[in-house]
Amino acid sequence: MLGSIFSGLSDDDMPKGLIEGYRLSPQQKRLWRLPGKSSAYHTQCAVSLRGALDSQLLKRALQSAVDRHEILRMDFAALPSMEIPLQMPNSEARLNYREVHLADRGNSGWEATVDDYYRHDERQGFKSDGISPIEFSVFKVATDHHILLIRSASFCTDYDSCVNLTQEIIELYHRLSLGATLPDEPVQYIQYSEWLNELS
């Protein structure tokens, strides 16, 4: 029996009866079939933020991004007879967020610490415990300098989508700071995935 792509679920924890979900896209299927532990495949990017930062406002922007994109709060599960799992949006997924203060370590100190976090996270799998499969870490390295580290399961993002997500987070932060209307709802990945499946 196939387990979840997340390391928190064992075969015994997987659904035993009927499950409802959506087909993986062709790209997701290829990733699933790669050898090794599929939870180890992930995307990471780091963004340097200069200037005054309202951490609570940033957290709201991150939560808004997760709320807007189903793929950022997706669960994956399979029944014993299924070779490929289904993807299922989790409307109750919690924001996976942490803050780390490094302002007292100097340039070489915070750079080494951020690099350690990056390499440590690179080796970790994702756990399906009601938390979004994308992680946001904010490192405060000075009063006016922060590093935003974004890490996601590759089933949910690739490099290009991580860049687009970063741009959207910046826009959401700006709009929230002004009390402005948020952008229109985006096209969901499930819609794109179904379109790709129809073409293949």
In-domain check, residue 106: yes
Strands 94-101 and 131-142: parallel
Whether residue 2 is contained in a domain is answered as no
- 67 vs 3, more confident: 67
Count of domains forming the chain: 1
In a domain, 142, yes or no: yes
The most confident of 47-61, 90-104, 116-130, by mean pLDDT: 47-61
Kindly indicate the confidence band of residue 122, based on its pLDDT and cuts at 50, 70 and 90.
Answer: low
Domain annotation covers residue 13: no
The yes-or-no verdict on residue 188 having pLDDT over 90 is yes
- Kindly state whether residue 5 falls inside one of the protein's structural domains: no
Question: Does residue 166 fall inside a structural domain?
Answer: yes
Q: What confidence score (pLDDT) does residue 9 get?
A: 44
Q: What distances in angstroms separate CA 4 from CA 42, 83, 158, 198, one per listed residue?
A: 15, 12, 20, 25
Q: What is the mean pLDDT of residues 176-181?
A: 95
Q: Is the pTM of this model over 0.75?
A: yes
Cα(118)–Cα(81) distance, rounded to whole angstroms?
A: 37
**Between residues 81 and 184, the one the model is more confident about:** 184
User: How many other C-beta atoms are found inside a 10 Å radius of the C-beta of residue 170?
Assistant: 15
Measure the CA–CA gap between 45 and 21, rounded to whole angstroms.
29
Q: How far is CA 196 from CA 28, 51, 192, in A?
A: 11, 41, 6
Q: What is the average pLDDT value for the chain, to the nearest integer?
A: 82
Q: Is the dihedral of CA 37, 24, 95, 2 positive or negative?
A: negative
The domain in which residue 173 lies consists of 43-73+90-180
Least confident interval from 21-25, 115-119, 183-187 = 115-119
The CATH code of the domain that includes 116 is 3.30.559.10
Instruction: Decide: 19 and 77 in contact? Cβ < 8 Å.
Output: yes
Average pLDDT over residues 99-123: 74
d(CA 45, CA 153): 12
In a domain, residue 186? The reply is: no
- The answer to whether position 125 is within a domain reads yes
